[in-house]
Amino acid sequence: MMRTEWHDHDWQLIHAAPQSPSLHMALDDVLTHEVGAGHRKPTVRIWEWASPAVVIGRFQSLRNEVDAEAAQRHGIEVVRRISGGGAMFIEPGNTITYSIYAPLSLIKDMSFQQAYAFMDAWVIEALGGLGIKAWYQPLNDITSEGGKIAGAAQAHRGGAVLHHVTMAYDIDAAKMLDVLRIGREKLSDKGTTSAAKRVDPLRSQTGLPRAAVIERMIATFRRLHGLTDDTLRADELARAEALAQTRFGSATWLADVP
């Protein structure tokens, strides 16, 4: 396998109407496989959320991470994604989430640390254009002087890498702390005891509407790497909907690490 560059690929953009949390999990699975198998060109997908969610990492313990009773009380669906990393608290309109599905050749011979920073260099540039001095903080955070902006996760599947990121646009920190169990050990080397203080959302930093931030991000990717507007194929959506039902919406998958 030869190392490839961004410009060696014909990047496609998918930005669909709001979808359910379990369908988002399934779409990441399906589209990673499609790119890995060569059935789809490398793709960027911007997520729109139909409903609030907590998305836990592949290896996180459901009961250790989530207060199920609080989640239910707030009407928040809890789902497990296929990549590692930490829990994300999602409310529609409060986060900007995107996925990049790329052939593994794009990050060939890179360390994990290099691969994370490489996949998000365009976002650092986009944020710079919005007046935010942001940088990559290993292992998997995008941060700024004000605090953390985003968390990334990667998974390798069948010849492709999935790189997805959730950025905080706005945040209801009180509700987040009600639903997520954030232990003291987790914060032990973060220099603060307040989980809420760790996040500095884009809304306060840019003063721009969420859609405008997304527009600027897309424009930056397009300028740097090229980007063609695309849509989900009917067969991709059908497979994702089936998986959302049978796997990603199932109690078995959610409690895979109970």
Partner 1 sequence: MHGEYKMPGGKLVVIDLDVRDGRLAHVQLSGDFFLEPDSALRTIDAALEGQPADMDDAGLARRIRDALAPDVMMYGISPEAIAVAVRRALQGEHLA
State the minimum distance, in angstroms, from the CB of residue 257 to partner 1: 5
- Least distance between partner 1 and beta carbon 81 (Å): 11
The nearer residue to partner 1, 57 or 249, going by C-beta atoms, is 57
Q: For every residue of 205-233, which 3-state class applies, written as one string?
A: HHCCCHHHHHHHHHHHHHHHHCCEEECCC
Least separation in angstroms between residue 141's CB and partner 1 is 11
Compare residues 15 and 181 and give the one whose CB is closer to partner 1: 181
Q: Work out how close the CB of 139 gets to partner 1 at its nearest, in angstroms, rounded to a whole number.
A: 5
Structure tokens at 150: 């985003």
Q: Decide: 201 and 176 in contact? Cβ < 8 Å.
A: no
The distance of closest approach from Cβ of residue 92 to partner 1 in the complex, given in angstroms and rounded to an integer, is: 24
Residue closer to partner 1 (CB basis): 27 or 82: 82
| DSSP one-letter string for 145-188 | TTEEEEEEEEEEETTEEEEEEEEESS--HHHHHHHB---TTTTT
* Three-class DSSP category at 93: coil
User: Which of 16, 28, 18 lies closest to 79, judged by CA?
Assistant: 28
Nearer to partner 1, 156 or 222 (CB): 156
Interacting residues toward partner 1 by CB under 8 A: 57-61, 64, 82-87, 112, 138-140, 153-156, 181, 183-186, 188-189, 257-258
HSE-up of residue 69 (Cα within 13 Å, Cβ side): 0
Residue 4 CA: distances (Å) to CA of 7, 10, 107, 240: 8, 12, 8, 28
- Nearest approach, Cβ of residue 113 and partner 1 (Å): 8
The DSSP call for residue 108 is: T
Q: Which is nearer to partner 1, 86 or 93 (CB)?
A: 86
Pick 181 or 203: Cβ nearer partner 1 = 181
Contact 176, 54 (CB under 8 A): no
